[in-house]
Amino acid sequence: MTEKMCMVVSEGTFDKAMMPLLMGTTAAAMGTEVHVFYTFFGTKLVTAKGLKPKLPGMWRFFTGMFVKKMKAVGVGNYQEMMQQAKELGINFYACSTTMGLMGIKESDLLPGVKVLGAAAFLKLASESKTTLFIG
């Protein structure tokens, strides 16, 4: 039986965008089935095409410098990490309730992102060895 890992992402800043991708790609490379559920303000991470998330608050001015430092140690930018995650088979979901609250249509989602309700995600999480909350 394959181990599962679930993550909930509720914020859309650079740090919250990268954490599930770094953790998820590592887990997927180790053979773990990974599920990432985006809700509330995290949902923008799976709806905005070409998004370049920023660090929070005053740190936002240093996002470019941080991206360069990451590149220097072999970590891709947000778009590259999303692509790698998809290639590794990571499952991405947008919260159906949040979509209704924020007027997001299924056609607004990035390719490969599925719509999932909280109850269905909680079932996945209950079957998971690890569940992380980011945000």
> What is the C-alpha to C-alpha distance for residues 87 and 25, in angstroms, rounded to an integer?
9
pLDDT at 135: 81
- Over residues 59-82, the mean pLDDT reads 92
Query: Hey, what CATH topology would domain 4-134 get?
Result: Hypothetical Protein Ychn; Chain: A, (3.40.1260)
pLDDT at 1: 64
pLDDT at 118: 95
Task: Indicate the average pLDDT of the chain.
Answer: 94
Torsion from C-alpha of 115, 119, 121, 122, nearest 10 degrees = 170
- Over residues 59-66, the mean pLDDT reads 91
- Over residues 106-113, the mean pLDDT reads 94
* 19: Cβ contacts below 8 Å, ≥ 6 apart: 9, 134
pLDDT at 128: 94
Model's pTM, two decimal places? 0.93
> What is the C-alpha to C-alpha distance for residues 97 and 62, in angstroms, rounded to an integer?
33
pLDDT per residue as tens digits for the range 18-59? 999 999 999 999 999 999 999 999 999 999 788 889 998 899
Report domain extents, the chain: 4-134
